[in-house]
Amino acid sequence: MLHYCLVHAAYHFSRQLPKRSRAKLPRSARYCDQPLLNNLTSFIIFTFLMTGFTVLLTLMDPIPREVRVTFHVYGVGSFGQGILTTAFTVSAPQCANTTPELYYLSLVLSVLSVLATVFIVFLIPFWIANIFYPGMVFNQRSRAGICHKPVARCSYLWHV
């Protein structure tokens, strides 16, 4: 109901403005060479998918192999989307003048994507070690492994 209320309020507040002053800027002043808006749209689609995976992964136990594989494919797509966001944002500094809201949102999303990538790259050696030497990184049954003490209170924080 919150979303409905916000749209309803925006509609009524916009009607208080004269018709001619609702959109003052000319169209040519709101142009950006890079496809930042299209990229933001794909980012929103990934956000919806993220919500679905969040629900699935929190409710399912054990997690089926198909869901895991699909989640990791989603991760690769998310990585690619983060690279595109960063590339488009870096190559669009002129958009800070023409469409500042879109540019700064893309800039924030780029920084967050880079930070998430750094975090995942940090975890990859642990995942690989766990594949080749099961239980070496974290073994909950025997309460042993390299990562047992740091994650003893929040088990399985580092993998799906």
pLDDT tens, residue by residue, 51-77: 888 888 888 888 899 998 999 999 999
For residues 19 and 10, what is the distance between their CA atoms, to the nearest angstrom? 15
* Predicted local distance difference test score (pLDDT) of residue 132: 83
Q: What is the mean pLDDT of residues 90-109?
A: 90
Mean pLDDT of the chain: 78
Question: Which residues sit opposite 23 in a β-bridge?
Answer: none
Where residue 58 falls (left for φ over 0; alpha for ψ -120 to 50; beta otherwise) is alpha
Residue 93, φ and ψ in degrees, nearest 5: -65, -25
Q: Please tell me the predicted confidence (pLDDT) of residue 126.
A: 77
Nearest to 77 by CA among 49, 52, 111: 49
The residue among 49 and 9 whose pLDDT is bigger is 49
Per-residue pLDDT, 12: 64
User: For residue 89, how many other CB atoms are within 10 A of its CB?
Assistant: 25
Share of the chain above pLDDT 90, in %: 29
Q: What is the pLDDT of residue 20?
A: 64
What's at 88, amino acid-wise? F
Nearest to 32 by CA among 81, 101, 127: 101
